[in-house]
Amino acid sequence: MTALKDIAKIETTGLWRADEDAQRIEVFVSVGDGSLIITDISNTALSHWALAAVHRRNPGKRPAIYAPGRDTPEELEIEDATMIDAIERIRTAIDRTRPHPGRLRVLSLLAITVTLLALALFWVPKALRDHTLSVLPGPQQVAIGQSMLSRITTLTGPACSDPQGLEALRVLNARVLPQTRARIVVLPNLPKPTMHLPGGHIIVSADLLDPGSAAEAVAGHILTASLRADLYDTLSEYLTFAGFRETFRLLTSGETNPETLRRYVDLKLTRPATEVDDSHLLDAFSARSLPVAPYARSLPRDGPQAARLVAADPFANQPAPEVLSDTDWLTLANICQ
């Protein structure tokens, strides 16, 4: 039981009493197979203590006082350091083999806490965001996009609204995005060519409407913004930015926090647009019978993608279908006048 073979040979003397009222008598103490054996001077066994249950009543003090259990009146006093050390080694070895329900309980609680924290930090916010996106009505998404647009116009100035220019813009919208409900808005002083907002809002910079440029280039920017809206949902991005509390507020009350929305819009205005890969662009341009080269050449930086798109333009050696008449293009170019 002890697994400490040398200890089985240790013997010593001690003072033993059967209960609190008994007189202490001198006894012999030895370690047996899993027990502490107490005998008198005539070698008559007085008591056997199970080593697994031995309890020390004065830890760290000498002489050591032991009992066969925590609440028993029987008691044994030992002065011999070798025997004391042996008993303590046995008690330590046995204690290591015992189950520790308290320790297991702590570890279980710790594991549960870590799991719950992981759910709270990662799964719950994503699940709430996805659920909010799935149940948020279309008109409410349009309203959120309109709130973002209102914030943008405080920085850029009001949307361009020449009536004839708006009619030309509707013609371009029908040509580029015939099966969508896109809401195209032209803004002056927009710091980027296009933006997409919740509810189908596509914002176009007035700088793109230079009469000296091509309507095909503007059409390409609008189509690319529409592709970004399909690939990168702005509302999902906003909810991720806003966090769990604001998402829950939107789900339960249908309201957004104006300050959170303002900070998100300001960040979006300064963040570069996410690039759409070549295959998506070329497929979309081909489906709309739009030449891709004018769009590629109008990009702010003539990077590798622009060169690739120009080289892959299916209309490079043949005329493309008209995007806008010359009259409509000139009218659209003056939409901010």
Per residue in 218-240, pLDDT tens?
999 999 999 999 888 889 999 98
Lowest mean pLDDT among 31-45, 98-112, 191-205, 259-273: 98-112
**With contact defined as beta carbons under 8 Å apart, do 13 and 26 qualify?**
yes
Distance CA 37, CA 22 (A): 19
Distance CA 145, CA 139 (A): 10
Q: Which residue has the tokens 């930015």?
A: 241
Distance CA 285, CA 309 (A): 11
Beta strands in 18-63 (DSSP E): 25-31, 35-39, 45-50, 55-56
Q: Is 112 buried (19+), middle (13-18) or exposed (0-12) by CB count in 10 A?
A: exposed
Phi-psi sector, 193: left (phi>0), alpha (psi -120 to 50), beta? alpha
Strand-pair partners of 319: none
- Tell me the H-state helices in the chain: 81-97, 101-118, 124-135, 138-156, 163-176, 215-231, 234-242, 244-253, 258-270, 278-287, 293-297, 304-312, 326-333
With 60 as the cut, is the pLDDT of residue 148 above it?
A: yes
Lowest mean pLDDT among 1-10, 37-46, 106-115, 157-166: 1-10
Entry pTM: 0.65
What is the domain partition of the chain in residue ranges? 5-97, 101-135, 137-333
pLDDT of residue 2: 42
With 50 as the cut, is the pLDDT of residue 170 above it?
A: yes
Distance CA 118, CA 280 (A): 36
In this prediction, residues 319-328 reach a mean pLDDT of 89
pLDDT of residue 31: 84
Closest CA to 265 of 237, 300, 245, 243: 237
pLDDT of residue 1: 43
5-97 has CATH 3.40.190.10 classification: no
With 70 as the cut, is the pLDDT of residue 118 above it?
A: no
**Average pLDDT of the chain?**
86
Distance CA 164, CA 331 (A): 6
In this prediction, residues 188-209 reach a mean pLDDT of 93
Residues 3-42: pLDDT tens digits? 455 565 688 999 999 888 889 999 999 887 778 899 998 8
Is residue 100 very low, low, confident or very high in pLDDT (cuts 50, 70, 90)? low
Is residue 95 very low, low, confident or very high in pLDDT (cuts 50, 70, 90)? confident
Strand-pair partners of 183: 201
